[in-house]
Amino acid sequence: MEQTLKRLATMQRLQVAGLELFYQNGYHNTSVDDILKKLDLSKGAFYYHFKSKEEFFISIIQNLIVQRVYSALVQPIEGKEDPFTIIEESLDASLETAEHNFFDNGFVLSNFLSETQGKDPEINTYLNDILKIWEVALITSLQKGKSDGYVARHVDSDGVAAYIISAYMGIRLQMACGNAKNLRYKFIQQLRIYFRSLAPQPIH
Amino acid sequence: MEQTLKRLATMQRLQVAGLELFYQNGYHNTSVDDILKKLDLSKGAFYYHFKSKEEFFISIIQNLIVQRVYSALVQPIEGKEDPFTIIEESLDASLETAEHNFFDNGFVLSNFLSETQGKDPEINTYLNDILKIWEVALITSLQKGKSDGYVARHVDSDGVAAYIISAYMGIRLQMACGNAKNLRYKFIQQLRIYFRSLAPQPIH
DNA sequence: AATGAGACCGACTAAGTGGTCTAATTAAGA
DNA sequence: TCTTAATTAGACCACTTAGTCGGTCTCATT
């Protein structure tokens, strides 16, 4: 019981530190030793809990990344009405935390996706699954929005979802590259214009 | 004279092979030896022409990447009228070549940007410069479009440009991850909707 | 034929890399 | 207190990395 707790604690410490370094320097550019050095742990500890670096990363994806994406981008829009407003708010909030984080390195998911795509197919799959969760949440929200009269009937929910995801991933990368300070404001502005043309038009 | 030609030929062979591997496997995940093996060349040859791996990559950026981005995304819109149509066409053409390329790994520029951002500031700078060229071309085109009556006066050209870049970078990443086949079609569809709301509205 | 510069070879180094293994330490239960 | 198992230390292994360096080859000029 007590042991199990300690085990989980050490594993979590490793995962948190691992994610931080992977996010900062990239998965391939971060060695297991780097992580261990940061925590004053030894090789033995690491390979006692995880059987390889890859499996370790996958555990991070499934424990930490999935949760962060969910709480930042999925949960806020789930079950709510008025999709455009609520989606805009969730994106704006995410951009705000990114903007105020001096060490922002872009959107976790898209960073790792672009690093592992092609090379590490297994890892890539797990990342894609998370993206899919977000996509489904967006589509569901938009569809519900049609019934509720917030979204025009003719709108292609899949297409809109893909477009939102694209735009968000792209803006996060640009923000991380330090291109202009008011990027977030501009982005939300354009998003709003786009959304407006997807709302039901008053007949005249 | 004859020597100079040979020198340039070898350098270019190295750069072309280097870009291909860097693009496929990432900069950090590709060793100098990998490139040399591909060309049946030796360490000596490489370090005779380039003084480091980093300088080598920078030369690739300035010789090859800048040119590709320019000819695919900048040149097609330069000096032309009707920004929305012409921008849409250039993006669609780029997406088409990407779609038909079985080994597509995403947008070169955004891949390298996300890999080097934070870690390799010098490389990142050169990549950002290229992005800036595209951004300026977009803004210029939009501004000219205002004078020519294709773009509504109230439109924020900077914001629109940033939004276009974001969306394109994002969709390329999604396409590279193999998410759905008709992603390109959907994307262009949404882009068109967005553009429509930026055109001057007929008075009624 | 001799020279000398440009281009290239490939063994070598030093610093990592992921991963293994044994021994030591710690903590729990009897 | 003794035993036993969970946990951690850290030396070690085979391999890869970027970069160096003395030497070799080619070939135009003398």
pLDDT, tens only, A164-196? 999 999 999 999 998 777 999 999 999 999 999
Provide the 3-class DSSP secondary structure of residue B120: coil
CA of A52 to C1' of C18 (A): 8
Distance between B42 CA and the closest CA of chain A, angstroms = 25
CA atoms of A40 and A22, how far apart (whole Å): 18
Give nucleotides in strand D with any atom < 7 A to a protein C-beta.
6-12, 16-23, 28
**What are the Cα distances from residue B93, in Å, to A25, A162, B137?**
34, 19, 17
Structure tokens given for B23: 């693009």
CA atoms of B36 and B50, how far apart (whole Å): 13
Asked whether the predicted pLDDT for residue A51 surpasses 80, the reply is yes
Asked whether the predicted pLDDT for residue B2 surpasses 60, the reply is no
Q: Give the start-end residues of each E strand in A106-172.
A: none
| Closest CB to B183 among A160, A162, A194 | A162
Contact partners, residue A15, CB within 8 Å, separation at least 6: A56, A59, A60, A63, A64
| Closest CB to A28 among B28, B118, B173 | B28
* Residue A91 confidence class, pLDDT cut points 50, 70, 90: very high
Closest CA to B154 of B142, B141, B162: B142
The protein residue nearest nucleotide C26, judged by CA to C1', is A3
CA of B11 to C1' of D14 (A): 34
pLDDT, tens only, A114-169? 999 989 999 999 999 999 999 999 999 999 999 999 999 999 999 999 999 999 99
Q: Do residues B64 and B20 make contact, with C-beta atoms less than 8 angstroms apart?
A: no
Record the pTM.
Answer: 0.94
Torsion (CA) A171, A172, A177, A181 in degrees, nearest 10: 70
Provide the 3-class DSSP secondary structure of residue A154: coil
Closest CA to B143 of B162, B161, B166, B128: B161
Name the nt closest to A3 by C-alpha to C1': D6
**What are the Cα distances from residue A101, in Å, to A79, A121, A178, B75, B92?**
29, 30, 12, 36, 35
* Residue B202 confidence class, pLDDT cut points 50, 70, 90: confident
